[in-house]
Structure 1
C-alpha cells in the first residue's frame, strides 16, 4: 500500500470524515483551556480525550500563557500522575536567596539545633512537599522555598508519610516564601530611593499542583484549595490586624498609596500564610522580596493567644527564629552579598585560624573556611555515632 505524501492533499471523502473529529478535538481543547483558566485543582488528562500536551502548548505559543486567578500564570505544562501540571518559572535571584537561607538553616540544625535539648530537625527546599489537609478529598499540598520540621515530628513519620503522598498530613513549623512583593513587572528598573509598597506576585512564590509528585515538581506547586481570602475557620477578623507600617489591612488588601498597583497578589500570599500554613501547624513564616530596590521582609508568628500576627516592620533587616528556632538568625547583609556577588572585607581578609578540635590543628585562611571545617568535624562525629548505633543494633539482632 502506498502512503500519501505529507504535502499531498486529502481526498474529499477523507477530509469529510476527519472534519467531525477535528471539530470535537477543538471543542475538547477549548474546554481544557477554559478549565485551566478557572479550576482550582489540576485538570485530569483522561477528562480531555484527544488533546495532547503538544496541542495545549501550541495554544499557549499562539495565545500566550494561561492565567488562573488562584494558580497564577501557567506558561507551560508537563503531565504528572495523569494531570496537566504547570511548571513554575523561578527567577535565579530568588533561588539564590532560598539556597542561602537553606544553607544557614542547615548549619543551625547541625550546630545549635542538634545540641539544645536534642532539638535537631530537618530542613527542605522547594522540592519538599507537605500534605496539609485531605478532608476536601484532594490533598492540599504546599512546597515552601525553605521549611523546617523539628526532630520529634520527623521521627514520628511513617514510611508512607516520608516516601509517598499517601500518608497522614503533617506540616513544618517554619516556612519561607521568596516572592515578588511589588505589582510592577520585572522588566522595569527598580525605583530609586524609597522602596515600593506591598503587593505580591504569586507566580514567583507559588504555582500549584495536586497530590503531588511535586507541589512544585520541576518547579510547580500542587493543588489549590477551594478557600478564598476569607476563610471561615480563621476566626473572623481577629487574624487580620491592620499593619500601620505597610499601610495594608490584610483583610482587604488595600494599600495606603493609591498610585501603587492593587495588592491582590499580596492578599493571596497573606492568605496562604494565615489560612493554609499556620492553620495546619506552622509557627513561624517569612515572606521575602530580595530584588534590589524592592527589598521587603514580612514575618508571621503566633502571639500569646495563638493568633497569627504579621510584624509591623517590613524593612530589609536581620531576621531571627524567635522561640521556634532559638539562635537561628539570617542577616540581611549576608543576603545582600549573595545577590551582589560581593564579600565583606572581613571575609576577604586572609586570616590564620587554627582548628581547636583535639588532634586536628588545621589552619584556615578565612572565617567561612574555618566554619565549614568545624561543620566537617560535627558531621564526622554524627556519622561515627550513627555507625555505633548500627553496630549495636546488628549485634542485638544476632
Structure 2
C-alpha cells in the first residue's frame, strides 16, 4: 500500500511522486528528509533516487545515487579540502552532495547541491539558525564548488553541454558569490575550470590550484589516480613510534601524532 503522508495540506505519495507540479520549500524539505529512509525508482532504467534538488519553478530535480568509485573521488576531494581548512585555520565549512544551497535562478528559489563546496568563515559566522538548519532564510552560496561527472572526452556531447550550462546559468551567476568552480570527469581524466568573469579553461590532468579563492590549496590528483586505478596492496609497514617535538608524548603512528598536533599545539 502506498504511503501517503500529508505535508502542508497536500498529500505526498512517495510511490507515485508527481514531478510535474511545483512544491513549496517546506514540502521540498519534508520529501528529502523522508527519503533518508525511502528510495525511489523514477525512470525506466530503475536508477535509485533518495535526494532531490529544486529548480526555479519549484519542481523536483532527481539526483540519482552515484557509483562507489565516483563517490570515492568526491570524498577524496572533500577530504583534502577539509584538511586544508583545518591546517590553515580558515574556519570555513566544507559540504558534499547532501548539502544544498539556494542559488536563485531568474529571481526564483533554486536549491542546488554541488558535489563539494566551500563556505568561508565570514559567511558561516553570519548564518542565522534558519539559514543553517533550513532553506527558509535568506539565500547564500559557497565561494568554491566542484562537480564530479561523466561528461565524455569532448565538449560536443550532451552530457558536457548540460554540465557546462549548469555552471554558467545556475552556479556562477550574478545571484551567487561563487568565484571558482571545477568540473572533473575522473573516468575520462578531464578537468574544466570556471572562474567568475572569465572563460572556461581546460588544463591537462594534474594537480589543481585553489588560486586566490582557496590560497595555498592544491588538489593532489595522484590520490585521485589511486582511486581510479587502485595499486596493488603495499606490504605492511613496521610499527614506528612517533614522538611529539613539543611535549614528547609518544604515538603509535603518524596519524595519531598529526591529530595531537592539530588539537593541542596548532
Tell me, what secondary structure is at the counterpart of 2:222? helix
Structure with the greater alpha carbon radius of gyration: 1
Where does residue 226 of structure 1 map in the other structure?
none
Aligned equivalent of 2:194, options 297, 300, 317: 300
The two structures, once aligned, show a CA RMSD in angstroms of: 3.5
Listed as ranges, the matches of 1:1-398 within 5 Å are 36=19, 64-65=44-45, 75=47, 86-112=62-88, 114=89, 119-133=90-104, 136-137=107-108, 139-182=109-152, 196-198=153-155, 255=156, 263-279=157-173, 280-291=176-187, 294-302=188-196, 307-313=197-203, 315-342=204-231, 352=240, 353-362=242-251, 364=253, 370-371=254-255, 373-380=257-264
Tell me, what secondary structure is at the counterpart of 1:341? coil
Q: Is the 8 A contact 2:150 2:159 kept in 1?
A: no
Cα 1:270–1:78 change in 2 (3 A) is closer
Q: Is the 8 A contact 1:337 1:343 kept in 2?
A: no
Q: Is the 8 A contact 2:42 2:48 kept in 1?
A: no
Cα 1:95–1:376 change in 2 (3 A) is farther
Q: How many residues are aligned here?
A: 230
Question: Gaps spanning 5+ residues in structure 2: where?
Answer: 1-15, 28-39
Tell me, what secondary structure is at the counterpart of 1:181? coil
In 2: Cα distance, 1:151 partner to 1:316 partner: 30
Cα 1:322–1:78 change in 2 (3 A) is closer
Give per-residue Cα distances to partners, 1:188-210, cap 9 Å, x unaligned: xxxxxxxx323xxxxxxxxxxxx
Cα 1:325–1:78 change in 2 (3 A) is closer
Higher helix share: 1
Cα 1:318–1:140 change in 2 (3 A) is same
Kindly state the Cα deviation for residue 151 of structure 1 after the two structures are TM-superposed.
Answer: 0.3
Kindly state the Cα deviation for residue 357 of structure 1 after the two structures are TM-superposed.
Answer: 3.3
Tell me, what secondary structure is at the counterpart of 1:311? coil
Cα 1:286–1:372 change in 2 (3 A) is farther
Kindly state the Cα deviation for residue 323 of structure 1 after the two structures are TM-superposed.
Answer: 0.7
Q: Is the 8 A contact 1:75 1:87 kept in 2?
A: no
Give per-residue Cα distances to partners, 1:102-127, cap 9 Å, x unaligned: 11111101102x1xxxx320101111
In 2: Cα distance, 1:340 partner to 1:76 partner: 26
Cα 1:84–1:122 change in 2 (3 A) is closer
Instruction: Provide TM-score, normalisation by structure 2.
Output: 0.73
Kindly state the Cα deviation for residue 171 of structure 1 after the two structures are TM-superposed.
Answer: 0.6
Cα 1:160–1:95 change in 2 (3 A) is same
Cα 1:265–1:324 change in 2 (3 A) is same
Tell me, what secondary structure is at the counterpart of 1:110? helix
Give per-residue Cα distances to partners, 1:157-198, cap 9 Å, x unaligned: 00110001101110101101110011xxxxxxxxxxxxx323
Give per-residue Cα distances to partners, 1:30-61, cap 9 Å, x unaligned: xx99x85xx5x7579x9xxxxxxxxxx8995x
Q: Is the 8 A contact 2:151 2:163 kept in 1?
A: no
Instruction: Provide TM-score, normalisation by structure 1.
Output: 0.50
Higher strand share: 2
Q: Is the 8 A contact 2:50 2:65 kept in 1?
A: no
Tell me, what secondary structure is at the counterpart of 1:308? coil
Q: Is the 8 A contact 1:77 1:84 kept in 2?
A: no
Kindly state the Cα deviation for residue 376 of structure 1 after the two structures are TM-superposed.
Answer: 3.9
